[in-house]
Amino acid sequence: MDKTKRTRLEAAGWRVGDTADFLELTPEEAAFVELKLALADYLRDLRVKNGWSQTHVARVLGSSQSRVAKMEAADASVSVDLLVKSLLALGASRKQVGQVIARAA
C-alpha cells in the first residue's frame, strides 16, 4: 500500500495497527473509505480551482473552517452525507458527484 494513502487512512480515523498488526478492512469498508477519500479530494480540487479559502467555503456552506478542513482530510467525523451536500452546494452536479464516486480506485 502507498505510504501516503496509509497516512491518510490513519488520519481518517481508521484503526491502522490497532492490534499492532496491519490494516484489516473488509472489502466493503475499504471501498467505502476510498469513496469518501475521492469525494474529499474532489472537494479540495473544486475549492482550489476556484481560488477559494476554506473560510470562504465554510461561509457559503453555513459551516466552519475547521469542518471544511476535516472534510478535505476525509476525517472520521465527516459523513458522506456532508461531503455530497457540500459538493452540490458548491455547484457540482449530481452527475459529477456520481462520476467521482464511480471512478475506479
Partner DNA sequence: GACGCGTATGTCGCATCTGACATATCATCG
Partner DNA sequence: CGATGATATGTCAGATGCGACATACGCGTC
Q: Kindly list the residues in this chain that would bind a copy of itself in the complex (CB under 8 A).
A: 28, 31-32, 34-35, 79-81, 84-85, 88-89, 93-105
Q: How far apart are CA 1 and CA 3, in angstroms?
A: 6
- Helical (H) or strand (E) element with 23: none
Other beta carbons less than 10 A from residue 60's beta carbon: 14
Select 34 or 70, whichever has its Cβ closest to DNA: 70
Tell me the C-alpha distance between 73 and 9, whole Å: 9
| Minimum CB distance to DNA, residue 95 (Å) | 22
50 near DNA (CB under 7 A): no
Residues in contact with DNA by CB under 7 A are: 11, 48, 53-55, 58, 61-67, 69-70, 72-73, 76-79, 81-82
